[in-house]
Structure 1
Amino acid sequence: MKEKVRAYVQEYHMLEKGDKVVVGVSGGADSICLLFMLMELKEEYALEITVVHVNHCLRGTEALEDERYVEEVCRKNGICCMIYRKDIECIAKKRKQSTEEAGREVRRECFMDAAGKVGGAKIALAHHMEDNAETMILHLARGTGLRGLGGMYPVREIWIRPLLCVSRKEIERYLKEQGILYCTDVTNFEDIYTRNRVRHNVLPFLASEVNTQAVLHMNQTMEQIRLVSDYMEDQTVSVYKEHVDEDQGRILLLSSLWGNVPKILRTMVIHRALARCAKKEKDIGQVHVSGVENLFFLQTGRKISLPYGMQARRIYEGVVVERYTQDLEEMAEKGPYRAAFRIFERKEDMEPPQKKYTKWFDYDIIKGNVEIRTRRPGDYLIIDKKGRRQKLKSYFINEKIPSQERGKILLAANGNCILWVVGYRTSSTYQIGRHTKTVLEIQIDGGEEDGRDSQSIDTGRRGK
């Protein structure tokens, strides 16, 4: 196994002489194996190894035992060890994430912090072949592009994964042969996380009922997909330079993009433009790319709203993408609340959240723009399925809302039609139904309990 990992490291140029390497070590089999593999290569590459252990504070004394074990391994082998203790449950609540997602993010933050302290370090992670197969399955099931189907890369910027070429069985066999002990996290055997369910049910089924080499074949396919993805990325950059103009955050997709550019490249160019404008890729999906594509067939002046306070607008030369408000997170820092928009495809088992300040609307039937604002003359609500209207002023009177407070209440509005009186009620028109395919989610955070506030923020519009 040592020679297999060494060859893999050389193939992807993971290490160079004198490298500083931060190693994420939980104390489990995978990360302990990675640490000992790197110690095997330490002399050959003159490595300076630093171990980082993140205690998630979720398993009480068991977590402390893991922490002490990692410290002891490092002490015996003369390795610098940095311990981070993070209350993941508390962090997950604050960030409104699952503990799994919060844990993953916090670990990366700790690794980055350690790499910065060490100075110019690479970060080594212990993912193996089964991990990558699970990633491929999850990406495929949730919806992804070429890059997602390629799974985790052996090398990505400062991140390296020397064990992606080996299986979990090979790791366990190596540790047994070398007489190396490791910790066992009992939560890894529970099906409380989606990845665990894939690991315990999907992969064994594929191996026993489809092909015993399923994991190997999936990894071989991912390797090919990564090559194709990298090639397509290079082509995308080339087409982008030819058909896109950038000027101080304003990105113009020229109409020439609809010339001889293949559809796959066109969609990748649009996605790249949105990501560059937003300065992030998360939550930018195919539904947003398709929305921008559709603008090319509409008259000048038509526009749609996009994540992260972006707007795409049809002009004579093509489609311009820009931020038409400050970033929502920046706004949140200046005011007592923030608003967030999210557009996504609805799955059969998805139900609207029963939350006072998070509401879903049928994106497919919304015409024009939606914005967050306070009241204006002519505002009205649709109060029943028959389409009967009620003036917003009458609604406020019926609800006995004091007149001095009415101008402070936030509204989600489509023109003068009110989708949502924040903290009170939603319109009957735009509710989620059995035919709803696409959902617009609006979330308001930080407002007072009745949805009122002393400021109004235009968080953005979306249009069709």
Structure 2
Amino acid sequence: MKKTEEKIIRFIDAHKLIEKGERVLVAFSGGPDSVFALHFLKKFQKKYKIELAAVHFNHQLRGKEAETDEKFAKEFCGKLEVEFFSAKLNVKKLANSKKLSIEEAARKLRYQNLEKLCKQNSFSKIATAHNLSDNTETVLMNLLSGTSAAGLSGIPVVRGNIIRPVLCVTKQEILEYLEKNRIAFRIDSSNLSDDFKRNFLRNRILPLLRGKINPALDEAVYRTTSNLKSQLTVNERVVNHFINEFTRKKANGFEIRLNIAEVFGEIPGELLKVLIEKNFDYEFKHEDYAKINSLAKNHKGKKVNLGSGITVIREKELLCFQKEESSLTGEVEFPAGKKAKLCGVTVFIQKAEIEANPAKKKAYELISADELDEKFLLRTWKHGDIFKPLGFKGTKKVSDFLTDAKIPASEKKNRLVLLNRNKIIWVVGLRISDEVKITNKTKRVYKLWTI
């Protein structure tokens, strides 16, 4: 058994990455790292008593070269007698629609399709070929871009059902092994260009650091990240404590109480990262941290937009984080005796009797139907809408009424109004119009309520 192989076996055993009888799906680009990983797992398949398969993704970015890569991947798996899957990914479409970089869009699509394939074919583990040199690149890229402590902890050995069995060996060790054993692999020409930041770091900066400062740079960085991971385990427990103490889950997001800043002097970036990445499909960035803490010091009603349609709104004592959904504006016309649903709220209207001693607090409204017809219109309120609130002498803008009622800015836009004969007779769930109040002359009554 070769030294490199022994190192990986010890690494797999130490981290308990593979259990007997598991079905393992290998992410297989055809490049040196994934060729090495698949070759290793196939060689020791009997030792681990696992079932193996590989999947190749064509990102449709390099034309004929990508087609050749896919052909190589298929033939390589055929020679090893490894079950082969392939899929074409429309990376440019996702990048344009979600305003992502090509690299980020490609990574997102790969992991989405890996998980999908995993579920469809009952794979228990996904193996990726990240190595020790990849870990160094990731740490330095995050450091140079600005990141949280988690960003400096490197590539995780295990994340959910994803394992990195060759994370203990360097790129150089992999290339030497492949050359010695005369194992062919493909080279992605885009990796040779310094146009991408990561390529520039890999091709220009890291060779200088290894040559002039530390030949064992990858091992040194990995030791540092391992120490940091231990500290982060403690930090994670602290963060979860404060999440339970200062945050609340909502239907389309969450909210943070601003008095958390009294504890830390700000809203901690690590707490924001955990909350945002847990609640939204979004990679938290340093500029998001700066935006959010600046907003926390701003006035009520202000808001900032993060990527992927995430909006943060400054309320009186809260920051409200929500995922912008497609517009909920609309309208529904319906007759008395029926119901209508809009923005998740169902409104009922039915004929009723006048109550001799109505309760002060009730879950419904009674209105005079004497001047109303049978057709009602339910819609979201609009700027310029006015009505005469019950007990109010004049008219009032609905927007001002909602503000006075202390409706959070994050909920304001989807508030409903009920109209009859083109007049607002009810700001749904809040106040009826004074023009439909019941008097001693009222002859017909409608009952209004919501669920």
TM class by shorter chain equals: 0.5 to 0.7
Distance 1:252 1:160 in 2: 33
Classify the secondary structure of the residue corresponding to 2:25: strand
1:151 aligns with 2:154: yes
Classify the secondary structure of the residue corresponding to 1:285: helix
Cα 1:276–1:179 shift into 2, 3 Å: closer
Query: What residue identity is the alignment partner of 1:34?
Result: A
Which residue in 2 is equivalent to 1:8?
A: 11
**For each residue in 1:384-407, what CA deviation from the matched residue of structure 2 results, as whole angstroms up to 9, or x when unmatched?**
xxxxxxxxxxxxxxxxxxxxxxxx
Classify the secondary structure of the residue corresponding to 1:184: coil
1:47 aligns with 2:50: yes
TM-score computed with the length of structure 1 as normaliser: 0.62
Bigger Rg, which one: 2
Distance 2:280 2:204 in 1: 38
Query: What residue identity is the alignment partner of 2:311?
Result: M
Residue 271 of structure 2, aligned match among 269, 276, 298: 269
Are 1:278 and 1:310, in contact at CA under 8 Å, matched by a contact in 2?
Answer: no
Aligned ranges for residues 408-447 of structure 1 at < 5 Å?
Answer: none
Aligned ranges for residues 359-378 of structure 1 at < 5 Å?
Answer: none
Q: How much does 1:136 deviate? A: 1.1
Distance 2:190 2:281 in 1: 36
Classify the secondary structure of the residue corresponding to 2:126: strand
Classify the secondary structure of the residue corresponding to 1:84: strand
Distance 1:216 1:322 in 2: 40
1:210 aligns with 2:206: no
Distance 1:118 1:319 in 2: 45
Residue 324 of structure 2, aligned match among 323, 328, 337: 328
**For each residue in 1:194-237, what CA deviation from the matched residue of structure 2 results, as whole angstroms up to 9, or x when unmatched?**
21111001101111222222222112212222222232112110
Which residue in 1 is equivalent to 2:187?
A: 184
Classify the secondary structure of the residue corresponding to 2:175: helix
**For each residue in 1:110-168, what CA deviation from the matched residue of structure 2 results, as whole angstroms up to 9, or x when unmatched?**
32232122124321111111111111111111111011111211111121111111001
Moved more, 284-293 or 23-32: 284-293
- How many residues in Structure 1 have an aligned counterpart in Structure 2? 329
Residue 133 of structure 1, aligned match among 136, 144, 154: 136
Q: How much does 1:332 deviate? A: 10
Aligned ranges for residues 249-398 of structure 1 at < 5 Å?
Answer: 251=254, 253-254=256-257, 257=260, 261-262=263-264, 266-275=268-277, 278=280, 280-283=282-285, 285-291=288-294, 293-294=296-297, 301=300, 303-307=302-306, 308-315=309-316, 318-323=317-322, 327-328=323-324, 330-331=326-327
Residue 240 of structure 2, aligned match among 207, 215, 237: 237
Q: How much does 1:13 deviate? A: 2.1
TM-score computed with the length of structure 2 as normaliser: 0.64
Cα 1:126–1:162 shift into 2, 3 Å: same
Query: What residue identity is the alignment partner of 2:220?
Result: H
Distance 2:127 2:279 in 1: 31
Cα 1:54–1:16 shift into 2, 3 Å: same
Which residue in 2 is equivalent to 1:438?
A: none
Distance 1:159 1:286 in 2: 28
Distance 2:54 2:33 in 1: 14
Contiguous gaps of at least 5 residues in structure 2: 331-381, 385-451
Classify the secondary structure of the residue corresponding to 2:167: coil
Distance 1:311 1:185 in 2: 40
Distance 2:281 2:92 in 1: 28
Q: How much does 1:36 deviate? A: 1.2
Query: What residue identity is the alignment partner of 2:326?
Result: E
Query: What residue identity is the alignment partner of 1:285?
Result: D
CA RMSD of aligned residues (A): 3.3
Are 1:132 and 1:152, in contact at CA under 8 Å, matched by a contact in 2?
Answer: yes
Contiguous gaps of at least 5 residues in structure 1: 335-373, 377-464
Cα 1:185–1:303 shift into 2, 3 Å: closer
Distance 1:333 1:190 in 2: 48
Query: What residue identity is the alignment partner of 2:270?
Result: M
Are 2:59 and 2:91, in contact at CA under 8 Å, matched by a contact in 1?
Answer: yes
Q: How much does 1:6 deviate? A: 1.3
Query: What residue identity is the alignment partner of 1:136?
Result: V
Query: What residue identity is the alignment partner of 1:9?
Result: I
Classify the secondary structure of the residue corresponding to 1:23: strand
Are 1:291 and 1:304, in contact at CA under 8 Å, matched by a contact in 2?
Answer: no
Query: What residue identity is the alignment partner of 1:174?
Result: Y
Are 2:266 and 2:293, in contact at CA under 8 Å, matched by a contact in 1?
Answer: no
Distance 1:85 1:108 in 2: 13
Residue 18 of structure 1, aligned match among 17, 21, 25: 21
Which residue in 2 is equivalent to 1:104?
A: 107
Identity %: 26
Are 2:25 and 2:123, in contact at CA under 8 Å, matched by a contact in 1?
Answer: no
Are 1:270 and 1:292, in contact at CA under 8 Å, matched by a contact in 2?
Answer: no
Query: What residue identity is the alignment partner of 1:72?
Result: E
Which residue in 2 is equivalent to 1:412?
A: none
Which residue in 1 is equivalent to 2:164?
A: 161
Cα 1:322–1:108 shift into 2, 3 Å: closer
Are 2:148 and 2:269, in contact at CA under 8 Å, matched by a contact in 1?
Answer: no
**For each residue in 1:24-59, what CA deviation from the matched residue of structure 2 results, as whole angstroms up to 9, or x when unmatched?**
111111100000111133222221211001123333
Cα 1:68–1:328 shift into 2, 3 Å: same
**For each residue in 1:300-339, what CA deviation from the matched residue of structure 2 results, as whole angstroms up to 9, or x when unmatched?**
x565445345344454xx425253xxx43534999xxxxx
Distance 2:30 2:41 in 1: 15
Are 2:193 and 2:199, in contact at CA under 8 Å, matched by a contact in 1?
Answer: yes
Which residue in 2 is equivalent to 1:76?
A: 79
**For each residue in 1:440-461, what CA deviation from the matched residue of structure 2 results, as whole angstroms up to 9, or x when unmatched?**
xxxxxxxxxxxxxxxxxxxxxx
Classify the secondary structure of the residue corresponding to 1:62: helix
Cα 1:19–1:333 shift into 2, 3 Å: farther
1:123 aligns with 2:126: yes
Distance 2:98 2:248 in 1: 36
Distance 1:255 1:100 in 2: 35
Query: What residue identity is the alignment partner of 1:319?
Result: L
